[in-house]
Amino acid sequence: MTMVYDEALERFEPVLGLETHVELGTNSKMFCGCRTAFGAPANTQVCPTCLALPGALPVANAAAIESTIRIGLALNCSIAEWCRMARKNYFYPDMPKNYQISQYDEPLCFDGYIDVEVYGETVRIEIERVHLEEDTGKSTHVGGATGRIHGADYSIVDYNRAGIPLVEIVTKPIPGTDRLAPEVARAYVTELREIMRSLGVSDVRMEEGSLRCDVNVSLMERGASEWGTRTETKNVNSLRSVERAVRSEIERQAGVLAGGGRIVQETRHFHEDTGTTTPGRSKEEAQDYRYFPEPDLVPIAPDPAWVAELKAALPELPSVRRKRLQAEWGLSDLDMQAMHNADAIELVEATVKAGAPAADARKWWMGELARRANETATPLADLPITPEQIARVTELVASGALNDKLAREVLEGVLAGEGTPDDVVEKRGLKIVNDEGELSAIIDEVLAANADAADKVRSGKIAAVGALVGGVMKASRGKADAARARELILEKLGVSA
Amino acid sequence: MSAITRDEVAHLARLSRLALTDDELDHYATQLDAIIESVAKVAEVAAEDVPPSSHALPLTNVFRPDEVRQSLTPEQALSGAPAVEDDRFRVPRILGEEA
Amino acid sequence: MSLIRKTAAELGAMIAAGEVSAAEVAEAHLDRMAEVEPKVKAFLHVDRETTLEQARAVDARLKAGEKLGPLAGVPIAHKDIFTTRDMPTTAASKILQGWRPPYDATVTRRLREAGLVILGKTNLDEFAMGSSTENSAYQLTHNPWDLTRVPGGSSGGSSAAVAAYEAPLSTGTDTGGSIRQPAAVTGIVGMKPTYGGSSRYGLIAFASSLDTPGPFARNVLDAALLQEAFSGHDPMDSTSIDAPVPSVVEAARNGDVAGMRIGVVREFAGGDGVQPGVLARFNEAVQLLESLGAKVVEVSCPSFASALPAYYLIAPSECSSNLARFDAMRYGLRVGDDGTRSAEEVMALTRAAGFGPEVKRRIMLGTYALSSGYYDAYYGQAQKVRTVIAREFEAAYQQVDVLISPTTPTTAFPIGERADDPMAMYLADLYTIPSNLTGNAAISVPCGLADEDGLPVGLQIMAPVLGDDRCYRVGAAVEKALESRWGGPLLKEAPSL
Ligand SMILES: [Mg+2]
Ligand SMILES: [Zn+2]
């Protein structure tokens, strides 16, 4: 029996822990020169080293080491002066050597933190370690009812992913989040993702597995001093799932504890469809990974001067940048948070950089485009429109060539693949009518057709001009400049504005 | 007292993925016991304050540039495979973590 | 004189001068193999046509004016632990039966490029684990001096092939003495270069921090020529040394020890278990060096006695992990895959069927030494002993230029004598192991026959890291002096052939 969330939080206090794996976006793998492209045909990106052919040896990728140190620095970590890679020994068919080259008691980066914001409150997440390791191959399970591992007849393995550099970021236990635990977990992963993006070290696509998250949750009775037993939930493949997994695990554990049961330390799996977790294989014997220093690789001793250089050259971090942009754009905390949640900050910033006023950029991304993204369930950044194009549209509006309504139509055209904003204006004939002669002719027609209204205006009921302007807009199919039309109408009727 | 029990040898065989018969377990238990007793002599060297050496030489910082090199062709990669399906290595069913 | 009696240097010169073709030289050796292989059984793979094709290709390259090294056209036998593109590579294990690597080891590649012609792949103790080549899964190799005796090991096929005049040169690997010990007991020259001086890429790993490729030859200069042809920095091996190395060929031609300081390791020169005939020849060699103007002193290295137990923890630990890749998933043997068994079961059945007893013993010993709870007492302590031994070497090399000892405590032992007694077998490497633990260079050169059995005795000359030239210099001096005494090489004709 699960317990409803509010009740669970009344009785128990959650403690979180997050382990995040980030696939680095290097050109080549961690220990060999194979490509790292996602989605390549099976076993086309493998060599003696990443297939673990007898005799092959690893050589560490300099860019991966540098990226890991930059990640560590961005997470306020200390950087090891000397450390080694280690072998983590366990047999598994998707791991060619049957040991993973990883790090054990000597991580490259350790003891850091990041601050995340949830509902205007700052929560500090302490980072235990950041270390470098390699990814495994990918198994496809054949036969059985569900295509899942259980009940499968056999599996087929593609080792293209084996050996891609993987950075593991482990938090210290996070107590005190209370009922905000799910949101804190999500905010942390969101923040990590943005930091990775700003560093340019990974494309951090959860749906492609280049950012993967394991969520540890334990509960303790309110007032208790000792933490409870934790579970580790894997297979959490989206930000939303991070939040849901924490919530569902809290509800489940609370139910077990309240019913007098006890929590087993185990691996669990999150299911997107149900939003719940199920236990992984129970471990009959405790894993003994027999870590030892990797003899095929020599120790890493980053030159402190080089580390200082890397630190000095770090880009402005997302949280700092957000504060700066908020001030520059003059936005409230709430507006900024909304943009953050919508993943719109970078897009708005790029649009501003391309020449658009901040207010306009924000208006389009958070309005029209956010709506479109929502409707089509597409991340905002993946809409087929660029910040430069948005900037061009705002420019056309500012110059009077477009009004808001036309601008919306232009965006629609761009999203529909009709080309650049200028192409769409051209093809759809959307340019505002600001040829005085053409406009004047339209106005004359409208005045003739609406003699009553014209008379009212002449007699001083200026408010009646609205109907006439509306008529002009209708007659021009929206392309007239409404303000100019109003001016001209009043002029023609001999009324001063 | 023996340094290693038969149960421990069975555990080591499991960890090492070696399907040993009962006779083999007995045999290796006796041999490993003698070997472990002998190699335990390393303890006689006073080395409390000595740092361990994992490597023969004190080299550090050997890296390669992040450059792509030619991979094997799938034919080469799969040439030694006991079973192949769909350009992938076909392996017996995996009991384990759901991925 | 028949071509097979020539030295490698002579053959190289004759081929370069056009006096004989590489194909003729290869053919002479293939004929010799046809004649004596039934008795010696040094080779696991021979393919006459492939060899002759290679030889003809070298002849063509030379004819085209290509500048190749001094060994161009000279035949060589490779220990079957180096990968070769055009021949099977098995490490003498059933688990790799029939495996054809899709790539060349750096050692084999470089020697191909230098124009050496591969005669075949030689027998060894399975995965190089042993001191007698009796642990091969395929065949027993016999010592050409006495066919009832072992040729040493693990590189026993390579030592026997050279001693039987089947090949002028061969390659081996030395993890705990696997080149020097077989060289000593077959009356030839065998060198363990400085660790990192010759590439391990494509050498099927036994113990990564110890394995060292090296040359076998019937004289010191040939060994030096071969070492120079395959050694040097390799970017594919992270532990490869990227530094200029003194020329070993020059040192082998020089052979002057006047004024050199030579240290006799007290603990290895007279202790228990040394055969009297071995000791007698060793003492004569010491006197000989003195008579050549060297200054000989006694040096004590008390911890060298602990090298053997340290080695039998470190090497098995590393091998337990290195051999995990032989799991029936990607290459090699697969046993028991009947559609119902799991991958884990198939792995265990395959490894049980594919590995021999010594390999299983070491895998389990290593697994034990790395297990949580035992790591510090065994693996950890062994690594500390390694440091202690390195310090003793360092102190010794403050006083002397080289250290000497017998290469092995005894001459070649009878086949079967130690096969069921692992501890007795391990003693064969007592004197050779310290240099492996510390990466130092060491050579074995013949220094006569033991009185009691008429079998060859080896003199071991040890030098500091990158002091390979010193080994060759002293080795050449001893060789020159003894050959003038013997009226030619110790091994004029293998007595039992
Ligand atoms: Mg990990
Ligand atoms: Zn690769």
| CATH value at residue C64 | 3.90.1300.10
Q: Residue B39: what pLDDT?
A: 94
ipTM tops 0.85: yes
C20 & C167 share domain: yes
Are C330 and A96 in contact (CB < 8 Å)?
yes
Give A285's contacts in chain C (Cβ within 8 Å). Answer: none
* Among the listed residues C337, C281, C198, C325, the one whose alpha carbon sits nearest the alpha carbon of residue C485: C281
Q: Which of A360-369, A459-468, C455-464 has the highest mean pLDDT?
A: C455-464
Q: Which residues of B touch A53 (CB under 8 A)?
A: 80
Closest residue, chain A, to B98 (C-alpha) = A149
Residue in C156, C188, C160, C148 with CA at minimum distance from that of residue C173 = C156
* DSSP annotation of C7: -
Distances (CA, A) of C124 to A125, C129, C479: 56, 8, 27
Query: What structural domains and CATH numbers belong to chain A?
Result: 5-310 (no CATH), 317-399 (no CATH), 436-492 (1.10.10)
pLDDT at A284 over 50: no
List of residues 6+ apart from A69 with CB closer than 8 A: A79, A108, A109, A302, A307, A310
How confident is the model over C400-417, as a mean pLDDT?
Answer: 97
The 8-class DSSP code of residue A41 comes to: P
Tens digit of pLDDT for each residue in A144-180?
766 677 778 999 999 999 999 999 999 999 999 999 9
Rounded CA-CA distance A122/A106 in Å is 30
Count of domains forming chain C = 2
Is C33 in the same domain as C134? Answer: yes
- Tallying the residues shown for chain C, one arrives at 497
Domain boundary among C215, C234, C252: C252
- As given in the structure block, the two tokens for residue B32 are 């490993």
Q: Does any domain span residue C404?
A: no
In Å, how far are A24, A313, A457, B6, C305 from A319, measured between CA atoms? 22, 17, 56, 59, 61
A405 CA from centroid of ligand 2 (Å): 54
Whether the Cβ atoms of residue C143 and residue C151 lie closer than 8 Å to each other: yes
* Domain co-membership, C222 together with C143: yes
Are A156 and B86 an interchain contact pair (Cβ–Cβ within 8 Å)? yes
Question: Model's pTM, two decimal places?
Answer: 0.90
Q: How confident is the model at residue A343 (pLDDT cuts 50, 70, 90)?
A: confident
Residue B98's pLDDT is what? 45
Question: Is C362 a domain residue?
Answer: yes
Q: What is the model's pLDDT at position C335?
A: 97
Query: Cα–Cα distance between A123 and C328 in angstroms, integer?
Result: 49
CA triple C103-C106-C110, angle to 5 deg: 110
Strand partners, A113: A126
Contact flag B32-C348 (C-beta cutoff 8 Å): no
Write out the two tokens for C202.
């494509």
Asked if residue C192 and residue C81 are part of one domain, the reply reads yes
Q: Rounded to an integer, what distance in angstroms lies between the CA atom of residue C243 and that of residue C467?
A: 12
Q: Which tokens is C93 given?
A: 């294990």
CB B4 within 8 A of CB B33: yes
Three-state DSSP state, A61: strand
Instruction: Tell me which chain A residues have a C-beta less than 8 angstroms from the C-beta of C80.
Output: none
Q: What is the pLDDT of residues C363-372, one digit of tens each?
A: 999 999 999 8
Chain B touched by A264 (CB under 8 Å): no
Residue B97 has pLDDT above 60, yes or no: no
Contact C379 A292 (CB under 8 A): yes
Q: Is residue C466 part of a domain?
A: no
Q: What is the rounded average pLDDT of the residues B22-45?
A: 94
Distance (Å) from the alpha carbon of C208 to chain A's nearest alpha carbon: 6
A61 in B contact zone (CB under 8 Å): yes
Question: Which H helix or E strand runs over A168?
Answer: strand A165-171
Determine which helix (DSSP H) or strand (DSSP E) holds C324, and give its type and residue range.
none
Question: Where is average pLDDT lowest: A211-220, A388-397, A485-494, C272-281?
Answer: A485-494
pLDDT in tens, C327-344: 999 999 999 999 999 999
Least confident of A277-286, A453-462, C123-132: A277-286
pLDDT band at C464 (very low <50, low <70, confident <90, very high): very high
Task: Compute, in angstroms, the gap from residue A295 CA to the centroid of ligand 1.
Answer: 19
Lookup result for tokens 């970017």: C235
How far apart (Å, rounded) are the C-alpha atoms in residues A100 and C325?
Answer: 11
Is the CB of C102 inside 8 Å of chain B's CB atoms? Answer: yes
Query: Over 90: is that where the pLDDT of A272 sits?
Result: no
CB contact at 8 A, B41 and B3: no
Q: Quick one: tokens of C375? A: 């790591």
pLDDT at A286: 64
**Distance from the alpha carbon of residue A32 to the mean position of ligand 2, in angstroms:** 5
- Looking at CA atoms only, how far is residue B15 from chain C in angstroms? 8
Q: Which residue has the tokens 């602990």?
A: C306
- Assign residue A326 a region (left: φ > 0; alpha: ψ between -120 and 50; beta: otherwise): alpha
CB pairs under 8 A between A and C: 104
B80 vs C332: CB contact, 8 Å cut-off? yes
How many Å apart are CA A465 and CA A452, to the nearest integer? 11
> Nearest CA of chain C to the CA of A317: how many Å?
35
Inter-chain contact B53–C383, Cβ cutoff 8 Å? yes
Q: Which residue do the tokens 């297979």 mark?
A: A235
**How many CB pairs (< 8 A) connect B and C?**
175
Residue A138: both structure tokens together: 């990918």
Neighbour count for residue C373 (Cβ, 10 Å): 8
- State the amino acid at position C139 in one-letter form: Q
Whole-number Å distance between alpha carbons of B60 and C49: 45
Whether A248 contacts A235, CB under 8 Å:
no
Question: How far is residue C72's CA from residue C436's CA, in Å, rounded to a whole number?
Answer: 31
Return the percentage of chain C with pLDDT > 70, whole number. Answer: 100
What is the band of A225 on the pLDDT scale with cuts at 50, 70, 90? confident
pLDDT digits (tens, 9 = 90+) for A316-342: 999 899 899 999 998 888 888 888 888
Phi and psi angles of residue A289, each rounded to the nearest 5 degrees, phi first? -80, -10
Pairing mode of beta strands A86-89, A99-102: antiparallel
What Å distances lie between residue C109 and A377, C82, C86, C230, C459, CA to CA? 55, 10, 11, 8, 31
Give the model's pLDDT for residue B96.
62
Q: Note whether A82 contacts B: Cβ–Cβ < 8 A.
A: yes
CATH number of B6-45: 1.10.20
pLDDT band for A374, please (50, 70, 90 cuts): confident
Q: Does residue C377 share a domain with residue C240? A: no
Residue C57's pLDDT is 98
* pLDDT confidence of residue A494: 83
At A402, the pLDDT band (50, 70, 90 cuts) reads confident
Question: β-pairing, A138-142 with A154-158?
Answer: antiparallel
CA pair distance A234, A212, nearest whole angstrom: 9
Please list the residues that pair with A60 across neighbouring strands.
Answer: B63
Catalytic residues of C: 79, 154, 178
Nearest-CA neighbor of C213 among C130, C366, C111, C97? C111
Chain A nearest CA to B39, separation (Å): 19
* Three state DSSP letters for chain B: CCCCCHHHHHHHHHHCCCCCCHHHHHHHHHHHHHHHHHHHHHHHCCCCCCCCCCCCCCCCCCEECCCCCCCCCHHHHHCCCCCEECCEEEEEECCCCCC
- Which sequence spans correspond to the domains of chain B? 6-45
Tell me C5's DSSP state: G
Q: How far apart are CA C255 and CA C484, in angstroms?
A: 14
Shared domain check, C370 and C244: no
**Mean pLDDT, chain A, integer:** 91
**Could you report how far apart the first and last alpha carbons of chain B are, in Å?**
45
Encoding tokens for residue C355? 């590995």
Residue B75 sits at the chain A interface (C-beta within 8 Å): no
pLDDT digits (tens, 9 = 90+) for C309-325: 999 999 999 999 999 99
Q: Which of A7, A15, A18 is nearest to A227 (CA)?
A: A15
User: What band does B99 get if pLDDT is binned at 50, 70 and 90?
Assistant: very low
Element (H, E) at C214: strand C213-217
Its domain, for residue C312, covers 308-383
Residue where one domain finishes, among candidates C206, C227, C252: C252
**Cβ–Cβ below 8 Å for A57 and C200:** yes
Please, are residues C422 and C456 in contact by the beta-carbon 8 Å criterion?
Answer: no
Last residue of a domain, one of C357, C383, C409: C383
How far, in Å, CA of C342 to CA of A33, rounded?
Answer: 33
Q: Ligand 1 centroid vs A201 CA: distance in angstroms?
A: 18
d(CA A100, ligand 2 centre) in Å? 14
Chain A: closest CA distance from residue C1 (Å): 40
> What is the average pLDDT value for chain C, to the nearest integer?
96
CA A475, distance to chain mean position in Å, is 46
| Closest residue on chain C to B77 (Cα) | C102
DSSP C119-173: EEEE--SGGG--SSSTT-SS----BTTBTTB---SSSHHHHHHHHTTS-SEEEEE
In chain A, which residues have their Cβ closer than 8 Å to the Cβ of B80? Answer: 53
Name chain A's partners: 3 or more CB pairs within 8 A.
B, C
Closest to C124 in 3D by CA, of C174, C197, C184: C174
Chain Cα centroid distance, residue A170: 19
Among C94, B22, C203, C354, residue whose Cα is nearest residue A53: C203
Distance CA A182, CA A8 (A): 13
Whether C487 maps to a domain, the answer reads: no
Which chains have at least 3 CB atom pairs separated by less than 8 Å from chain B?
A, C
Helical (H) or strand (E) element with C76 = strand C75-79
Structure tokens belonging to residue C340: 């119902």
Instruction: Check CB contact under 8 Å for C321 and A87.
Output: yes
Strand, coil or helix: what is C33?
helix
Q: In this structure, is residue C403 part of a structural domain?
A: no
Give chain C's end-to-end CA distance (angstroms, integer). 18
Q: Is there a domain that residue C160 lies in?
A: yes
What does R_g of chain A's alpha carbons equal in angstroms? 30
Angle at C258 between CA C257 and CA C261, to 5 degrees: 70
